[in-house]
Chain A
Amino acid sequence: MRDANTIDQLIAHRALSSLPAVWVDLAHGRISAADAAEAALEHEPVELVERSRALFEPPTEAQVEGQLDALLEAHFPEPAAASSRRWWIGLASAAAAAFLLLTVPPLLDSSPDDASIAVFDAGYSLTLHRGYEGMRAADPAAAGSAVYVEGRELELRLRPRHSVSPEPEVRVFATTAERTLVLPIEPRINEDGIVTIVGSTTEAGLRPGRWQLTVVVGAPGTLPESLDGIRADAGSYEVVKAEIEVVSPDELPSSG
């Protein structure tokens, strides 16, 4: 049975890693169904595309909340409502809160953000790997520019000056003059806080052209959702940037 289990896991792993990124993007609402279908038609037959388009289309918010409510109702019982016998618990809590407000004002002076977010100072540096060796700049880290072949792997490595704990969170934005993407990454972070991000340029949505990568690394739960949300004075995360170029395999020199 364990042998069968190994194969099943390999099949699951393979099926999930080979699922075209456009369908995942559609499921997450990052692209429209029309755009996903158009992109998928380059690789998949019409019938499969039409079926996939319907399957990966995200549900409405009302549907999501309705399904969630049903699950919560059935499996997560609400804490018992205050009964008439327990009314005094609420009253006692309110009294205690009022007492604290009057007697411990210094604790309330700082905002929740100030209290819960420590300054993140790891001194992360970014290096690029797996670029097209023959066309890569002499010193990729210093030059900040590397060339990657469309469809091949891209690797980013973030190294802190010192060990980082707890495990940081990472987000990568890629921008051209026309568009900004949040890269679909699954960073591997080791116990020292060294972050490795590996993925294919195609899966990442990086089409041929020059891209500016903006990597945000910082305390969990504090990273900006969008590029516009990055604040220079934010103390909870660091920002490092690099420029890359993605080229079509057709653009490569025919030899060496």
Chain B
Amino acid sequence: MPQGKYSELSTERVMAALDGDREAFAELYRCYGPTVRSTVAAVVRHRSQLAVHFDDIVAEVWTRFVADDRKRLRSFDPSRGPFGYYLRMRTFALARMLADQILRRSKTVELDDPFHSTFCSDEFEGQMLGRSELEALDREVRERLSEADLLLFDQVLVLGRNVGQVASELGITRDAAYRRSHRLKQKVLVIAQELGIGGPTGPRPTAVLALLIAFCAQGAIETEEISGSVSEVARGDA
């Protein structure tokens, strides 16, 4: 049943749809169709060359979801939250992977584009993290990353904008932006491990210590890498 921004179907109907009930699946499709489309749109809207592939990606996402007896959606666990959130997360990962495959078909593939190093798989391996865990990690990341790091994180990794464009808006070289966005992931991992989020067995003291040392050392170097004017970065795509 609709519940505001994102409609939700009852858990019983969702489970029936995943079990192959034709009518329940029709309900699920009508209920979550806009959710899947808007999630795919969120993935492609910052890359102008992907816009023409939008409908193909939406169709492919649904096809993969229902293929093999809905295998890809069977990790849904109702006790961990609503289906809508789970579906949006799964759609985002799958759409990003499909978008990456399309970008790789072009004549010139920018291998230093971080778009290609995230979402290499359409599966979130193991159990998907809980929403509250991700919210806690997001809060901590926002608290602890520098303004410049946050901009790179949001513009390049989250929005999926081209690293070269963001670099030029920041007034740094493409190379520097790439290196920095790569190191950002390590910083985020340090924070995640400190919070005990992700990783197979929780925080690993040795690894955390090593990463912390690297984090601090890099922080000292990077403060001079980007000089002011970070607030001028426009949210858009050339």
Contacts and interface: CB of A to CB of B under 8 A. Distances in A.
Interface of B: 1-8, 10, 20, 22, 25-26, 29-30, 33-35, 37-39, 41-46, 48, 51, 54, 59, 62-63, 66-67, 82, 84-85, 88-89, 92-93, 96, 118-120, 124-126, 128-129, 131, 134-135, 137-138, 141, 154, 157-160, 185, 188-189, 192, 197-200, 234-238
Contacts, number: 189
Contact of A12 (B1, B3, B92): B92
Nearest to A64: B33
A1 B6 CA distance: 31
A10 B1 contact: no
Contacts of A43: 235
Interface in A32-66: 43-45, 47-48, 51-52, 54-56, 58-59, 64
A186 B235 contact: no
A7 B141 contact: no
Given A48-B236, A72-B22, A13 B135 contact: yes
A27 B129 contact: no
Interface string A4-23: 11111111111111110101
A11 B157 contact: yes
B131 A13 contact: yes
Contacts of A194: none
A119 B30 CA distance: 29
A186 B8 CA distance: 9
A11 B5 CA distance: 20
B118 A7 contact: yes
Contacts of A184: 4-6
A13 B30 CA distance: 23
B3 A5 contact: no
